[in-house]
Structure 1
Amino acid sequence: MRIAVTGSIATDHLMAFPGRFVDQLLPDQLAHVSLSFLVDTLQVRRGGVAANIAFGLGSLGLDPLLVGAVGPDFAEYEVWLKEHGVDTGSVYVSCEHQTARFMCMTDQDTNQIAAFYAGAMAEAGHIDLRAVHDRAPLDLVLVSPNDPGAMVRHTEQARDLDIDFAADPSQQLARLTGEEVRSLVTGARWLFTNEYESALLRERAGWSHREVLDRVGTWVTTLGAQGVRIDRRGEPAVTVGAVPGVRAEDPTGVGDAFRSGFLAAVGWGLPLETAAQLGCAMSALVLATVGSQAYEVRPEAVLATVRTVYGERAAGLLGAKPGWAA
């Protein structure tokens, strides 16, 4: 399966606060919050949702196309992505803006406060998906958080080109209008959200859970430490537990890694439950490291995790794929 991953490409500035954010918030002063947090560490890492997902897909042996906008400071990052199997030939380089920046602070409970500077991402709407499809015919377009106009345009172009698409609005739900949310979701083969985003999506779209399922093929909701739930219209929900006992170093990029594992398994023609299991195993790799692209995919280690947590059948299905050994 040839997957184009559209969305943000960014540099992550990750900070660790040794206390708890909730201890610093005074209930009677929330109308005028003015806080400064002294952090213990600063890690500068490669990131951006689309780049993270493409990195995961490339590390799993697929050949994803990354589709997003960057600044002239992208050269070193581009080499890294190419070394990990990502096709960067459709990345748009801005002459005016730097690559986007994600600044995130995590407390000891893994709660996060973050800010995102769009930079070159604001020009992502200039990218024509038709040209990308002409260069490398696509089987699936993943529309992940990006400039809102670019998200709508790429969704509409996928429909016009009759290419299956996956909707992953996640962090941009706060910026999107109800009309935009309905446009991004309707007709999606896959819809990805976390539990909070699923409620926000319903509120923004003005739809019930059933009305969302009437408009998408499969709705995949990540549940943090509880794993993932897969919903399809007229079928019972499928729930897969997360990998237990993982020491949480940094949650940044965990959801992106899940998507890469899930879509890789789908591309290999594996069952949805197995796809979710591989997604959870990929999430565990990221959770145990600092930075969303600091992990290494070693098939034998991933298979060992899948076998231990999900059993021999899941490991056998994954082990039958080229480059993997059961």
Structure 2
Amino acid sequence: MRTLICGSIAYDNIMVFEDRFKNHILPEKIHVLNVAFLVPEMRRNFGGCAGNIAYNLKMLGGDPVMMATVGDDYASYATRFEQLNLSQEYIYQVPDTYTAQAFITTDLDDNQITAFHPGAMNFSHLNSVKDSREIRLGIVAPDGRDGMMQHAREFHEMGIPFMFDPGQGLPMYDGNELLNFIQQANYIAVNDYEAQLLQDRTGCKLESLVNKDKVFIITLGASGSVIYVGGKKIEIPCVEPSEIVDPTGCGDAYRAGLLYGIVKGLDWQATGRLGSLLGSLKIAYRGGQNHQFTREEVDQAYFENFGTRVL
């Protein structure tokens, strides 16, 4: 089953400042701040929610199809997708723009200063779900504001079940807009902070947002996750990682597990556990797409953690 993944494709430029910001920023001079940081170490990672989710879903044996907008600097990412055999059928290159990218500077205390340039992501509404073919499941992940609203509406109008994953894009919407997303979606996936923000924005308690007609997934970091479905609350444990290196992209890996479970008709306990396992495998590597696994390795790790097979 082809799964349409609407979301961002981005480059993550990560730089390491070999000192501490506090040694170079004078509190009494914040109003006239003018500083420069020498960053001898720099790496560029492939990222973006659509790219990260598709990367993980493909390794599971799924059939992800990305819908995203990119800029004139897309060539290296395009080559990567070719090597990974990931469809670029619905990736639209917007002339005279840059692909979305983050510039992250980290100091020795793991403090971060981040600048994000949305670039071509702002034109995500130029893509239409109605142009897609043979899609039976979708996800609306963080992307351009107008594009997220349009794609959710199109999924709903076409009767294609989809997951709403607002992520860092949640603050772009007011309460009524968020309630509309929830009404249209079949599945809603947020982390614990986003769940609280969702309640604050909509003025609705979690109990009223969660109903028997929707599946509501809340990730809780090291505390695992919970899935509300059919009037029940399913608690999903966190899988102990081999090491904790970088949480970037863990949520996307988790969502790939959810999408795979939905497509394969797994029960929600198995689906949540698979998502938890994928997040654990990812966190041991830097970046959102530098980890690798085979279906057999995932199945074995699932057996070791939960005592059953899943793939």
Q: Give the TM-score normalised by the residue count of structure 2.
A: 0.89
- Deviation at residue 181 of structure 1 after TM alignment: 1.5
Residues 16 and 199 of structure 1, relative CA distance in 2, 3 Å threshold = farther
C-alpha distance in 1, partners of 2:127/2:170? 21
* 2:204 pairs with 1:207: yes
- Deviation at residue 215 of structure 1 after TM alignment: 8.2
- Deviation at residue 246 of structure 1 after TM alignment: 3.1
Q: Deviations over 1:261-282 (max 9, x none)?
A: 2211221111111111211221
* 2:311 pairs with 1:300: no
What is the aligned partner in structure 2 of residue 80 from structure 1?
80
* 2:53 pairs with 1:53: yes
Query: Identity rate of aligned residues, in percent?
Result: 31
In the alignment, residue 291 of structure 1 is paired with which amino acid? G
C-alpha distance in 2, partners of 1:192/1:21? 35
Larger fraction in strand: 2
Q: Deviations over 1:213-238 (max 9, x none)?
A: 13861111111111111112521x21
Residues 194 and 30 of structure 1, relative CA distance in 2, 3 Å threshold = farther
In the alignment, residue 217 of structure 1 is paired with which amino acid? K
C-alpha distance in 1, partners of 2:302/2:24? 40
What is the aligned partner in structure 2 of residue 116 from structure 1?
116
C-alpha distance in 2, partners of 1:168/1:38? 36
What is the aligned partner in structure 2 of residue 101 from structure 1?
101
SS in 2 for 1:89: strand
Query: Is the Cα–Cα contact under 8 Å of residues 3 and 64 in structure 1 kept in the other structure?
Result: yes
* 2:272 pairs with 1:276: yes
The equivalences for 1:224-243 within 5 A come to: 224-232=221-229, 234-235=231-232, 237-243=233-239
What is the aligned partner in structure 2 of residue 10 from structure 1?
10
Query: Is the Cα–Cα contact under 8 Å of residues 66 and 91 in structure 2 kept in the other structure?
Result: yes
SS in 1 for 2:88: coil
In the alignment, residue 266 of structure 1 is paired with which amino acid? I
Query: Is the Cα–Cα contact under 8 Å of residues 210 and 233 in structure 1 kept in the other structure?
Result: no
In the alignment, residue 240 of structure 1 is paired with which amino acid? I
Q: Give the TM-score normalised by the residue count of structure 1.
A: 0.86
Residues 87 and 306 of structure 1, relative CA distance in 2, 3 Å threshold = same
For structure 2, the residue ranges without an aligned partner over 5 or more in a row are none
What is the aligned partner in structure 2 of residue 168 from structure 1?
165
What is the aligned partner in structure 2 of residue 266 from structure 1?
262
C-alpha distance in 1, partners of 2:229/2:287? 33
Residues 245 and 159 of structure 1, relative CA distance in 2, 3 Å threshold = closer
Residues 29 and 193 of structure 1, relative CA distance in 2, 3 Å threshold = farther
For structure 1, the residue ranges without an aligned partner over 5 or more in a row are 322-326
SS in 2 for 1:78: helix
In the alignment, residue 198 of structure 1 is paired with which amino acid? A
- Deviation at residue 308 of structure 1 after TM alignment: 2.2
C-alpha distance in 1, partners of 2:99/2:85? 21
Tell me the number of residue pairs that the alignment of Structure 1 and Structure 2 aligns: 310
The equivalences for 1:122-161 within 5 A come to: 122-132=122-132, 136-161=133-158
C-alpha distance in 2, partners of 1:250/1:297? 17
Query: Is the Cα–Cα contact under 8 Å of residues 185 and 215 in structure 1 kept in the other structure?
Result: no
Residues 211 and 268 of structure 1, relative CA distance in 2, 3 Å threshold = same
Query: Is the Cα–Cα contact under 8 Å of residues 241 and 284 in structure 2 kept in the other structure?
Result: no
Query: Is the Cα–Cα contact under 8 Å of residues 142 and 168 in structure 1 kept in the other structure?
Result: yes
Residues 130 and 291 of structure 1, relative CA distance in 2, 3 Å threshold = same
Residues 106 and 194 of structure 1, relative CA distance in 2, 3 Å threshold = farther
- Deviation at residue 17 of structure 1 after TM alignment: 5.8
- Deviation at residue 66 of structure 1 after TM alignment: 0.3
In the alignment, residue 295 of structure 1 is paired with which amino acid? H
What is the aligned partner in structure 1 of residue 251 from structure 2?
255
2:184 aligned to 183, 187, 200, which one?
187
What is the aligned partner in structure 2 of residue 324 from structure 1?
none
C-alpha distance in 2, partners of 1:254/1:168? 14
What is the aligned partner in structure 2 of residue 287 from structure 1?
283
Residues 263 and 22 of structure 1, relative CA distance in 2, 3 Å threshold = farther
SS in 2 for 1:73: coil
- Deviation at residue 107 of structure 1 after TM alignment: 6.2
